[in-house]
Structure 1
Amino acid sequence: MKKLLLPMLFLFVLVLTACNNESTETKTNNISNDEKEESTTITYQSEEGPIEVPANPQRVVVLSSFAGNVEALGVNLVGVDSWSKQNPRYDSFLKDVEEVSDENLEKIIELDPDLIIGLSTAQNLDKLKEIAPTVTFTYGKVDYLTQHLEIGKLLNKEKEAQDWINDFKKRTKSAGEEIKAAIGEDATVSVIENYDKQLYVYGNNWGRGTEILYQEMGLKMPKKVEETALAPGYYALSLEVLPEFAGDYVILSKSAGTDNSFQDTETYKNIPAVQNNRVFEANMEEFFFNDPLTLDFQLEFFKEHFLNSK
């Protein structure tokens, strides 16, 4: 009898141990699932303070400026501002994305966003925050690369953002050295735009490739541009004084839909950069922004034109 009892007791212990292990494993799995649910949000330190946002946003609305940053980080867009919709270089990924504004709240509600991104000057911010977590940035508060890094942090893509920044700085430094060798260390460059019948010249942080030319490559701007446009970012000027602001090389940002008849005037034609074929015309709608997609395009544009100019 004792011989029979011992094997049965041993078997009972094995079954009990197995049940306990299964119970422990189930409990562990449940804890893991709870932790996963808790990790569906992250806390982003915004300009206004900490805000809870999705850890993996799926439906992002961008109200100004940052559509290219979001797309470059591989995050889905469902609504963007009108300026972004006008950019032909965004057509491939904004084709089915709705155009929205901070005034059309009903349309934003219909898009059911899980994150809204915009500028601090946006209207109806209190109402937007009721629709979805809303994060705003003050334009120019940080430099353009830090801005992309901040958007990377917001979207839980900080590493991807930093990797692109590191690579971009290497590429622009290399291209800048080539361009300086080709055009000369002391050559000056102006970025001029014809917008709505008004001419503007730009400083070093207002899109249009200015960040690449002046910040990354260290190219020089004419003294007149430095005096008037560097601090505010841009400066409006008349055709009569345009020659004073034109550098040895000019990046001319313009739109086919704008009156560009100033280029037919003698004042324009007599500018040395014009006479020396050193005016590089860019599509204004493609050149506005300073997100990674636009910056990569601008960098290739500058390499192609400066290195092939006479």
Structure 2
Amino acid sequence: MKKWLLPMLMVLILVLAACGNKEDNSKKDNEGTKEASSAETITYQSETGPIEVPAHPKRVVVLSSYAGDLLQLGVNVVGVDAWEANNPNFDDGLKNAKVVENTDIEKIIELDPDLIIGLNNIENGDKLAEIAPTVLFTYGKVDYLQQFIEIGKAVNKEKEATKWVEDFKVRASEVGKKIKEKIGEDATVTVAESFDKQLYVFGDNWARGTEILYQEMGLKMPEKVKEVALEPGYYAISQEVLGEYAGDYIILSVPEDQDSSFTNTAWFKDIKAVKDGHLYEVNANTFYFNDAKTLEYQLDFFEKKFLH
């Protein structure tokens, strides 16, 4: 080989090596960026202190009544409790989710969640926190709409949640005004639920549409219901005394797997609201909660029943 070719060959080798190093480094940088993106977190100020949670959670397990909030925000839910799994409103959003309980540690591990949300009275909270960041809420610690915003904060969607709340309050108030114009300012509404051959009447903050009717719409509660159910949230009564707690209108929810034959009895048909055609029955499975998705369903139900 001619001597003058040696320097040229060495330069070519160095250039190729540099290009190779540049490509490798670029590849490593891209991989590092992807890892950083997938590992990105935010700090959520929970009831018990700051918790590092995913900035963009992809696999959430919900062990409480908040699945509808996550579905409303477009967050993927991979595991839920049986109560939420049985809500027809959630069928599409939860069609691929597995039913789990807080005691199903192995099943939850298999779901590989990146976030777990639940109530603070569940068992195994410490074990769940070892699987994934776990945010637990106290039911009723904040009002039902602020609760949705808190869920939004936990999944980095506070703006979306706040916007929905503002819009919902306006829509509920407008429907409420129309309802009061039709039924009268002094008309009363009783919210009742049948379960295991017993009835329950509810105050103004125990889901079942109570927050919408009493808080947002300002409809009136019968005095007898107010006396027993307003403070504790609900009150159990025997079926036969429903007439004593019945307002001018009754919202009656019955679980789809429960016996509703009492609605065919003479004492039930003799209740004034029933005789006046002011009884609105609903599948309790769709009415149990006060998450955003359920609230949308409840508002639509009230608008149709009272105004159409």
Instruction: Tell me which interval the TM-score lies in, with the shorter structure as reference length.
Output: 0.7 to 0.9
TM-score, normalisation: structure 2 = 0.88
User: Which residue type is aligned with residue 227 of structure 1?
Assistant: E
Q: Secondary structure at the match of 2:93?
A: helix
Alpha carbons 1:73, 1:160 under 8 Å: kept: yes
How far apart in 2 are the matches of 1:199 and 1:114? 40
- Is residue 179 of structure 1 aligned with residue 179 of structure 2? yes
Structure 1 partner of 2:271: 271
Question: RMSD between aligned alpha carbons?
Answer: 1.9
Give the conservation status (yes or no) of the 8 Å contact 2:197–2:239.
no
Q: Distance in 1 between the 2:256 and 2:37 partners?
A: 51
Deviations 1:77-111 (A, max 9, x none): 11011001000111111111100110110000000
Deviations 1:100-127 (A, max 9, x none): 1101100000001000000011110111
CA distance in 2, matches of 1:212, 1:219: 9
Gaps of 5+ in 2: 1-25
Shift of 1:241: 2.1
Tell me if the contact between 2:189 and 2:249 (Cα under 8 Å) persists in the aligned partners.
yes
Alpha-carbon contact 2:61-2:116 (below 8 Å) kept = yes
TM-score norm. by structure 1 comes to 0.87
Q: Deviations over 1:20-59 (max 9, x none)?
A: xxxxxx9xx99x9599659810110101111111111111
- Is 1:123 equivalent to 2:123 in the alignment? yes
SS at match of 2:91: helix
Q: Which residue of 2 aligns with 1:168?
A: 168
* Counterpart position of 1:14: none
- Report if the CA contact (8 A) 2:256-2:285 is conserved: no
How many aligned residue pairs are there? 281
Identity, % of aligned pairs? 61
CA apart distance, 1:185: 0.1
Partner of 2:73: 73
1:144 Cα deviation after fit: 0.4
2 CA distance for matches of 1:165 and 1:178? Answer: 20
Deviation of 1:137 after TM superposition, in Å, equals: 0.3
Which residue in 2 is equivalent to 1:192?
192
Q: How far 1:143 moved relative to its partner? A: 0.5
Q: CA deviation at 1:256?
A: 3.4
The 8 Å contact of residues 239 and 267 in structure 1, kept in 2 or not, is answered as no
Deviation, structure 1 residue 147: 0.1
